[in-house]
Amino acid sequence: MSAEPVVATTLFGDRLADAVERKRSQLLVGLDPRPDLLPVELVGDVQYDRAAAAGGCARFCRGIVDAVAPHVVGVKPQLAFFEALGADGIRAFEEVCDYARAAGLLVLADAKRGDIGSTARAYATAYLEPRGDEPPLADALTVNLYLGRDSLEPFLAAARRHGAGLFCVLKTSNEGGADVQDLVLSDGRPLWQHLARLVHELGEEIVGQRGLSSVGAVVGATHPRAVGEARRLMPQAVLLLPGVGAQGGSPADLARAFTSGPASALVNASRSVLYAFRSSGEDWRTAAAAEAARLRREVWAVAGW
């Protein structure tokens, strides 16, 4: 482990706990913009080329941020949807991240980065370190721990120096994740539980005053029993719980995730909020706000705080 000291900065867990208590919300909204699903009023921006599509997606995400900001603690832009639009998409991604932070929201970049050595350092620099006089692009980043302990060192350094948060992919909501994550080790544990213990160890040195670590974990909300086991194995970690809404996960199944405190888990909803207008018939911003408000109430009630 690195012996690099922590500098005087607010750790991610403390910033998150403050936001959760202030907003009385544990909800994140994923920003997964698809040009073919945008509202009619934005379609004109996406018909011609990738630059126009990126502009339309940026407008859509800004509108979603405005709509859901009263109800959520942060947003989770999924980088793949922006990368698909080339350089213009990357500029849109940066614009949306800056817009969300200006709106007082935490930004969790969903990039699932993972590599070793100088490549991992470059990923950490890109997302979690200050950009000159500007703050880091994101408050937190999803990372892949399946390359081992040393693959996380540059990200851990950013967590110590700059107050960044990490969410390690452990038990995902897709059915095929079991092909690897549920492989049984010689001691009878599935692989993901072995990595959960590693997450706990790595995060023990970066625990804030509110008792939450800067190193969290991604556990699919479609696996309620795994959520409970993850909480037992990682009592100080913030659990990021995707899969609520379009993927079939329910807030009612997630109560055990919050036993370490009101900010010890975050529920992410993406398509069910972004594209609520497609089934409700309402204005897209109104529909997104209504769905976010509904999920916020449900999750807060389930958490029991």
- 45: pLDDT confidence band, cut at 50, 70 and 90? low
Q: What is the pLDDT of residue 9?
A: 72
| Distance of alpha carbon 99 from alpha carbon 58, whole angstroms | 10
Q: How far from the centroid of its chain's Cα atoms is residue 263's Cα?
A: 13
Using one digit for the tens of pLDDT, what is the confidence trace for 71-107? 999 999 999 999 999 999 999 999 999 999 999 999 9
Residue of 110 and 281 predicted with greater confidence: 110
- 47: pLDDT confidence band, cut at 50, 70 and 90? low
- Residue 43 covered by a domain: yes
**Of residues 261, 162, 159, 256, the one with CA closest to residue 210:** 261
Residue 6 predicted with pLDDT over 80? no
Residues in the chain: 305
Overall domain count for the chain: 1
Q: What is the pLDDT of residue 246?
A: 58
- 7: pLDDT confidence band, cut at 50, 70 and 90? very low
Active site residues: 112
3-class SS at 214? coil
Q: What is the pLDDT of residue 247?
A: 62
Residue of 248 and 7 predicted with greater confidence: 248
- 244: pLDDT confidence band, cut at 50, 70 and 90? confident
Residue 243 predicted with pLDDT over 90? no
Q: CA dist 245 to 73, 91, 102, 169, Å? A: 18, 29, 27, 20
Using one digit for the tens of pLDDT, what is the confidence trace for 198-234? 999 999 999 999 999 999 999 998 888 999 999 999 9
Q: Report which residue type is found at 201.
A: E
Residue 238 predicted with pLDDT over 80? yes
- Residue 6 covered by a domain: no
- 37: pLDDT confidence band, cut at 50, 70 and 90? very high
Domain extent for 96? 12-300
Q: What is the pLDDT of residue 46?
A: 58
Residue pair 77/109 in contact (Cβ under 8 Å)? The answer is yes
- Residue 4 covered by a domain: no
Q: How many CB atoms lie within 10 A of CB 107?
A: 26
Mean pLDDT of the chain: 92
- Residue 180 covered by a domain: yes
Tokens 């990738």: give the residue: 50
- Residue 160 covered by a domain: yes
Residue pair 257/304 in contact (Cβ under 8 Å)? The answer is no
Using one digit for the tens of pLDDT, what is the confidence trace for 154-196? 999 999 999 999 999 999 988 899 999 999 999 999 999 999 9
The CATH number that applies at residue 69 is 3.20.20.70
- Residue 233 covered by a domain: yes
* Residue 31 CB burial class (10 angstroms; 0-12, 13-18, ≥19): buried
Q: What percent of the chain has pLDDT over 70?
A: 94
Q: What percent of the chain has pLDDT over 90?
A: 84
3-class SS at 190? strand
According to DSSP H, which parts of 182-223 are helical?
191-203
According to DSSP H, which parts of the chain are helical?
12-23, 40-43, 50-68, 79-83, 86-102, 117-128, 153-162, 178-181, 191-203, 224-233, 271-274, 277-280, 284-303
- Residue 182 covered by a domain: yes
| Distance of alpha carbon 117 from alpha carbon 163, whole angstroms | 21
- Residue 5 covered by a domain: no
**Angle value at C-alpha 147, between 141 and 149, nearest 5 degrees:** 80
Q: What is the mean pLDDT of residues 127-140?
A: 95
- 1: pLDDT confidence band, cut at 50, 70 and 90? very low
